[in-house]
Structure formats: structure tokens, C-alpha cells
Amino acid sequence: MISISNHFIGEEEKQAVLEVLESGMIVQGPWVAKLEEEFAKMCGVKHAIATTSGTTALHVALLANGIKPGDEVITTPFTFIASANSILFTGAKPVFVDIDEETFNINPDLIEAAITSKTKAIMPVHLYGYVCDMDAILKIAEKYNLKVIEDACQAVGATYNNKVSGSFGTGAFSLYVSKNIMSGEGGMITTSDDNIAELCKLIRAHGMKRRYYHEMLGYNFRMSDLHAAIGVSQLHRLENFTIARKQNANYFNENIKSVIIPKLKSNYGHVWHQYTVRVEGDRNAAVKQLNEAGIEAVIFYPVPAHKQQYMQDIVGDIHLPIAEKLSNQVISLPVHPQLNASDLETIVKEVNKL
């Protein structure tokens, strides 16, 4: 089976983990600090704050931006559920806005109509590694004085007009094992705002700056040095990983003829967390056919957030036609850096039989 994701662990990761084990210090320490420093540099921001997951990074980023019960946060329904759940954790309500058919991302033209007196923030999600139309989103945020929290969990290193994801607002990243780089489990918040960074650090560790004096309610979302050691090594590989993903995606772009392939604009630096095609016929049969041919094609995501059972109690029975249509058309194909030439040929040959 050609798998949909395949993390890479090399000598650098193994040596780094061994070093942590032998140091006798396993909890948040120098490796977390190193990962934060290098991650901030990669994003072109002043601060990066490590957490336990992308989900907790989003949660902390929202709290640090003052999102609280009764507030509304505008986001996309076409995403992994953690985007919407992190909004619910704060007591705020997710307000779902439909997506753009070509980019799979939130449609900025529909955002203004969803703004109410309760709206406090916009959470764009850079799905599949493709940054949202940030000029349009930042313009609306400025006009209505809204915070911007980027769900960049799938978009580490992705760019828009040469600016890196996570540098447009407060960024949240995942270092989960299937993401473009990983630390096993892990997350990262990015910001150039000193106050937000300080709040994130407090919320991450029980509101504690001075030992056992607690300035506010916080959580335990600290990353361990073991995880950070893997993350640092992976961050060193990011550029090469991204080049390999781009080469694989370019090969698909040139050779896949049977289905709708992603459309690209030149000012976007896609990092191809997923290579996602659209099938207008029987999508589920197409997935089955690919799986039987030894290709782990996967549907990200079969049910948009607003149509999840428990979410209906919160947002009601709303209709977002593009997200609903695309959730019935999308198929993600393996595009990860470990694919070899023969894997790529097999994928193209089988997809072109659809």
C-alpha cells in the first residue's frame, strides 16, 4: 500500500532524543527553547510558544486574544474538527462561512455578511498547505477591529506574497506525526506581539510565572524536551521536505488528466500537505478503486463541521453549499516526500483510470 502519510526519522532525530534521555532532563527545557527560537525565525515572527498539540495551540491562541464565552469567531466548515472545537473550548461560538470552490479555503467575499456585534475574531484555516486570501481577510479584520488567529496546522512554511503562514495574525501549528514536520505530538503558536506571547506562556502553564504564584487560570499544555528534540531535527528538514512535496505535486499536475486538479495562483507558496483532487462522479467508488489498487487515497473531510451531529445543536441546520458539495467530491492522494518515482507513476496510472 502506498500510504497517505509517512513520517521520516533519521539519525539527527535519534541522536537528539538520546541526548535528552542522557541529560536526565525530559520536561520542557533547552530543546523546547531551541525549537521555539528556530520556529519563530522560520516564520519571520518575534515569538513562538510550544504546546502539546495543534489543538491546544489554537485553544491558547484564542484565549490569549481575549476570546471568551458569548463571543463569535468566524471560520470555515471545511477543516479538521479541531479548528471549530478550539473555539468551543473558550465558550465562544463558531460561525461558519462557506468556502471558495477553487482554493477549498474560506471565501472572503462572504465574511462581512456573517459579522455581528458579537464577532471578535476570524480564524482562517490554510487547508492542505495553501494559505487563505490574507489580503482580503486582513482588510476585513482591520475594518471591524477583529483578531486573526490562523489555523496553520497544515501549512508550515507556506507563503502568501512571500510572507510565511503564521505571521499574518496569531498562528497555530501542529507537529502531529502526519503533518509536514512532526514531533510525535506537539503544537506551536507564533506571534510578533509581546503581550500575546506572554499570555500564551502563562496559559500554557497554569498562569504561573513565579513558582506557585498564579496570575490567571491556565492549563498544562507544556511540550516535553523529548518531543522538542524530534521537532528541532524535523525543522532542519523542512526545506527539503517541502521541495520534495512540490516536485511530487508538479508531477501530478502535469500527468493527471481524469479528475479536477488543484488550481494555483503564482503569489501562493503551496506546501502540499495534501494533494487533493475532485471527482464529479461516484467519489466513494473512486476511493475504493484506488485503495484496491494499493493507493491509500483518503477523504479530508467527508462531513463539514456544521453538519457534525453535535455541532447542529450549536449552529442549527445551516446550509453551506460549496463546502457540502466539495466534501462529496474530494480525494487526497499520497504526496509525501518518501514517495519514489515508481509510486508516483502508479498513482498517476491508477488515477487516470478513474
Ligand X SMILES: *Cc1c(COP(=O)(O)O)cnc(C)c1O
Give the integer Cα–Cα distance in Å for 105 and 265.
14
Nearer to ligand X, 144 or 219 (CB): 219
Report the residue number, 120 or 179, with the smaller CB distance to ligand X: 179
- Closest approach, Cβ 333 to ligand X, in A, equals 17
Among residues 49 and 348, whose Cβ is nearest to ligand X?
49
Distance from C-alpha of 257 to C-alpha of 47, rounded to nearest angstrom: 44
Beta-carbon contacts of residue 136 (< 8 Å; ≥ 6 apart): 108, 109
How far is the C-alpha of 103 from the C-alpha of 264, rounded, in Å?
8
The pairing of strands 47-51 and 159-160 is unpaired
- Cell 473550548, located at residue: 89
CA distance 22 to 326: 50
Min separation Cβ 271 and ligand X, Å: 12
CB of 306 to ligand X, least distance (A): 16
Return the closest-CA partner of residue 95 out of 251, 315, 331, 320: 315
Nearest-CB residue to ligand X?
A: 54
Nearer to ligand X, 81 or 140 (CB): 81
Closest to ligand X by CB, 164 vs 256, is 164
**Residue 62 or 354 having the CB closest to ligand X:** 62
| Contacts (Cβ under 8 Å, ≥6 apart) of 331 | 259, 276, 277, 278, 279, 283, 286, 287, 290, 297, 298, 299
Instruction: Report the nearest approach of ligand X to the CB of residue 79 (Å).
Output: 5
Name the residue nearer to ligand X (CB basis): 53 or 233: 53
Amino acid at 261: I
Binding site for ligand X (CB under 6 A): 53-55, 79-80, 82-83, 125, 151, 153-154, 174, 176, 187
Q: Which is nearer to ligand X, 171 or 337 (CB)?
A: 171
- Nearest distance, CB of residue 344 and ligand X, angstroms: 24
Compute the distance between CA of residue 124 and CA of residue 323 in angstroms, rounded to an integer: 15
* Min dist. Cβ of residue 6 to ligand X (A): 16
Dihedral sign, Cα of residue 93, residue 98, residue 104, residue 105: negative
CA distance 280 to 292: 20
Minimum distance of ligand X from residue 152's CB (angstroms): 8
The helix (H) or strand (E) run that includes residue 20 is helix 11-23
Least distance to ligand X, CB of residue 172, Å: 7
